[in-house]
């Protein structure tokens, strides 16, 4: 979805493609490793944001199902997703983005976009994003996942994986939902091809140049883990005491550090979808973040 923020600026969020119907992206809020994030999941945020926005346009990546695109043609790596987003934006003559919103593995193509010299991204909003560490709960099984992803790029093996994949993930104790195997498979593909440790230098670069960022995570995120989330917050430049902290009911129990370029929020019970569990809080925070950074543009 492409937003014309306050009638002037572009506000971009990426949503994973399969559920978008109109022929144009881009708000690429990435799929997670346990279940795909659909437009329906974000209905509250969308409805509230539309009250403030002048225009809304939906768009779509290539169809995600392997039956449509032959394995190997579009593997959903971070570089491919970033390039596809750039190509779309260029096609509609958009050269700058006020806010890029990413979720889960969407952080990896998102970092590419933020650091691209040919595209001006003015701020980054991260909701339960992946980090730079292989200690994330979802990728502790990286060798196992790499084999599955490699197998999925062979048509015959892919057909077998459609039936055996959910069983293999359960046996491997990978903390993902397996009711639709293709969803976690596509997200795992992005994680495998992302070279996760390289993200550390990218995060540091953004932090050092005072790039505006909003970061929200959950202590009970079964795919990322609180340890990795706190490490990312510290890397970005805040101590644990400077993090806005919310209890299981969404009540603030610690008012952290808030400046125009960085705000970090931690939720005791937010799952991998903090924007769903605490929709009102996330919406208000995003709107405030956007307004403050529009003033600084």
Task: Tell me the whole-structure pTM to 2 decimals.
Answer: 0.76
**What is the per-residue pLDDT across 66-125, written as a single tens digit (0 to 9) for each?**
333 444 455 677 888 888 888 888 888 888 888 999 999 899 999 999 999 989 999 999
> Which residue is associated with the tokens 């010299």?
117
Distance (Å, whole) CA 297 – CA 295: 6
Residue 207's φ and ψ, nearest 5 degrees, are -65, -45
User: Regarding predicted confidence, which is higher, 150 or 181?
Assistant: 150
User: Does residue 259 belong to any structural domain of this protein?
Assistant: yes
User: Does residue 211 belong to any structural domain of this protein?
Assistant: yes
Look up the CATH number of the domain holding residue 57. Answer: 3.40.50.1820
Q: What is the pLDDT of residue 212?
A: 95
User: Does residue 8 belong to any structural domain of this protein?
Assistant: no
For residues 133 and 231, is the Cβ–Cβ distance under 8 A?
yes
Q: How many domains does the chain have?
A: 1
Task: Tell the burial category of 202 from Cβ atoms under 10 Å away from its Cβ (0-12, 13-18, 19+).
Answer: middle
User: Does residue 17 belong to any structural domain of this protein?
Assistant: no
pLDDT > 60? residue 11: no
User: Does residue 274 belong to any structural domain of this protein?
Assistant: yes
Average pLDDT, the chain: 77
Domain hosting residue 55, numbered range: 35-136+197-295
Ranked by mean pLDDT, which of 13-27, 137-151, 208-222, 252-266 comes out on top? 208-222
Helix then strand then coil, % of the chain, to nearest 5 = 45, 20, 40
User: Does residue 146 belong to any structural domain of this protein?
Assistant: no
Q: pLDDT > 70: what percent of the chain? A: 73
63 CB-near residues (< 8 Å, 6+ apart)? 17, 18, 69
User: Does residue 14 belong to any structural domain of this protein?
Assistant: no
């Amino acid at each position: 979805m492409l937003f014309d923020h306050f009638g002037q600026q572009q506000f971009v969020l990426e949503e994973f493609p399969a559920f978008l119907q109109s022929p144009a992206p881009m708000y690429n809020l990435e799929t997670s490793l346990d279940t795909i994030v659909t437009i329906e999941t974000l209905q509250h945020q969308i409805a509230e944001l539309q009250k403030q926005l002048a225009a809304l346009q939906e768009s779509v990546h290539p169809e995600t199902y392997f039956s449509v695109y032959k394995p190997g043609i579009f593997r959903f790596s971070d570089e491919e997703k970033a390039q596809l987003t750039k190509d779309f934006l260029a096609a509609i003559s958009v050269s700058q983005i006020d806010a890029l919103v990413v979720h889960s593995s969407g952080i990896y193509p998102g970092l590419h976009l933020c650091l691209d010299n040919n595209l001006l991204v003015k701020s980054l909003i991260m909701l339960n994003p992946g980090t730079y560490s292989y200690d994330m709960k979802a990728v502790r099984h990286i060798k196992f996942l790499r084999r599955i992803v490699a197998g999925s790029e062979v048509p015959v093996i892919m057909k077998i994986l459609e039936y055996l994949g959910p069983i293999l993930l359960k046996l491997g104790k990978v903390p993902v939902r397996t009711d639709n195997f293709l969803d976690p498979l596509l997200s795992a593909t992005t994680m495998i091809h992302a070279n996760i440790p390289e993200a550390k230098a990218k995060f540091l670069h953004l932090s050092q140049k005072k790039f505006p960022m909003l970061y929200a995570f959950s202590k009970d995120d079964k795919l990322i883990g609180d340890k990795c989330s706190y490490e990312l917050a510290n890397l970005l430049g805040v101590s644990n005491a400077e993090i806005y902290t919310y209890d299981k009911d969404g009540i603030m129990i610690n008012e952290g550090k808030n400046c125009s370029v960085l705000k970090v929020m931690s939720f005791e019970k937010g799952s991998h979808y903090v924007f769903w569990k605490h929709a009102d809080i996330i919406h208000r925070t995003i709107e405030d973040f956007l307004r403050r950074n529009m003033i600084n543009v």
